[in-house]
Amino acid sequence: MRTFEYKTRVYFSDTDAGGIAYHAHYLDWAEHARTEMLRAIYPGKTQMQLAHEDNILMVVRSINIEYRSPAYLEDEITVLTDMEDVQHFSFTMRQRIMRGDTLLSTLSIRIAVVDNATKRPKKIPEDILRAFES
């Protein structure tokens, strides 16, 4: 899979009194990028449709985040998302939050696929695996 790019801006609500982005917003930006990536590679299926029609939830199992440099009010940032590893019941993504050429943060996110009814691990369906590979 190629790298997926998501662009956004640092808004006043993302920052502290000094205009520096609050650390939790990096997680929000990464989540927004993963959501938009899923929409791009699996068109016609929203997360709500996957949950209610296909009985599939994608839940965060673990996150490792490293902060390298701060983001500031008004910065345009790009979140780069790459698929690192796909298993039967989960997958790992690597995300980099950038301001131009400056690396602000790196994240490694393990996503578990679970059955919406039982909340037990569920094998990733073949059509989703194919979407990840495209």
Q: Is 16 an active-site residue?
A: yes
Q: Which residue has the tokens 């997958």?
A: 91
Max intra-chain CA distance, the chain: 48
Q: How far, in Å, CA of 119 to CA of 113, rounded?
A: 9
Q: Are 27 and 60 in contact (CB under 8 A)?
A: no
By annotation, the residues acting in catalysis are: 16
